[in-house]
Amino acid sequence: MSQEQPRKPEDQKEAVTYGDVFPGVQGVELADKLVAPKDAAIMQAEENAVLGKTIKGGAAATLQTAARQNEKAGVVGPDDMNANIVTGDEGVSVKEAELPGRRIITESIAGQAVGQYSQRAPLAAPNTIQAGGAGGQITIGEALEATAMTAGQKPVEWSDAAAIQAAEVRATGRTNIVPGGVAAAAQSAATLNARATKDEEKTKLADILADATSKLPADKPATRRDAEGVTGAEMRNDPFLTTHPTGVAASVAAAARLNQTNSNEMPK
C-alpha cells in the first residue's frame, strides 16, 4: 500500500485517521485515510522549507505521532504514503501572511486547513509595546502557557481537552475551534492517549500548551466569567467531576483573580 491506502476497516479501532487528529477536516478522501509515515515526512519537509524549522505541536509533529502509532499497530508500513493527499494537485502547504502586529502561518493538507498559528510582530520600537500583550493583564493564552509549566507532564485527557476548547473559544470569540489550534491539538492528543498503553507514549499538556499564544488568532485578558466557563467544561468531562489542582481551569482562574486584583488597584 505504498501509494494508496484502503479505508480503515471497522475492526482496526487502534488505527489513527486524519479525522482523528484533525477534527475539522471534511470528506472521506481525507478524514478516513490512515496517517502514514511518509505523509508526516513530507509535511515536515514543507515546514522546514518555509519556516526553517518544524513547528512544535504543528501538523508535522501531529502526523508523526499518529504515524508512529499506526506503525506500531501494524496498519501501515514505514514507507507508506497517501500519494493522492500529500503529493496531489493541492498536496501539503505552509503559507505565511503578514498582518498588522502579527504574522499568520496556515498549514493545509489537500486544500483543507489543519493548522493556523499566530506570531507577534512589533509595530514600533520595543519600548512602546505593553507588557503582557493586553495592557499588563494576563491573557487566556498566557494562562494556558502557564499550565504547561504547572502541569506540563500530565497526559492530556478528555477533561483537559474540554477545558482547552472552552478557553480557546473565549479567547478568540469564535463559536467553533480553530483548525490546528490548541483545542484541536488537545482533542487529537486525548484521542491518541486513550489508545496508548504506556504513559511515555502519551502526549503531555506541555506538548500542546507550551506555545499556546502563538496558536490563537486572537486573545483577551482572562475574566471571572472565562474562568467559570473553563472550570465547568473541565468538571463536566472529568469522571469524578473535579478539576486538576494545577491544570487548565486552575490557571485560568488564577489569571482572572490577578487581573481583577490589578484592576481594583488601578487609580480611578
Grid coordinates representing 205 are 499538556
CA 95 to chain centre: 18
Give the Cα separation of 238 and 225 in Å (integer): 20
5 vs 237: CA distance, rounded Å: 35
Whether residue 186 has pLDDT greater than 60: yes
Span 67-92, mean pLDDT? 89
pLDDT per residue as tens digits for the range 94-135: 887 766 566 778 888 988 888 877 766 544 333 322 334 445
Cα-to-chain-centroid distance, residue 36: 20
Its pTM stands at 0.60
Checking if the pLDDT of 159 tops 50, the result is: yes
User: For residues 238 and 128, which has the higher predicted lDDT (pLDDT)?
Assistant: 238
Q: Of 16-20, 48-52, 208-212, which gets the smallest average pLDDT?
A: 48-52
Residue 155, φ and ψ in degrees, nearest 5: -60, 140
Q: What is the pLDDT of residue 25?
A: 84
Q: Which of 59-63, 113-117, 155-159 has the lowest mean pLDDT?
A: 113-117
Maximal CA-CA distance, the chain? 69
Q: What is the reported pLDDT for 151?
A: 87
Each domain of the chain, given as residue ranges in start order, spans 7-129, 130-265
- Closest residue by Cα to residue 209 from 128, 151, 265: 151
Query: What pLDDT score does 87 carry?
Result: 83
Pairwise CA distance, residues 235 & 216, whole Å: 23
The least confident of 24-28, 60-64, 140-144, 180-184 is: 24-28
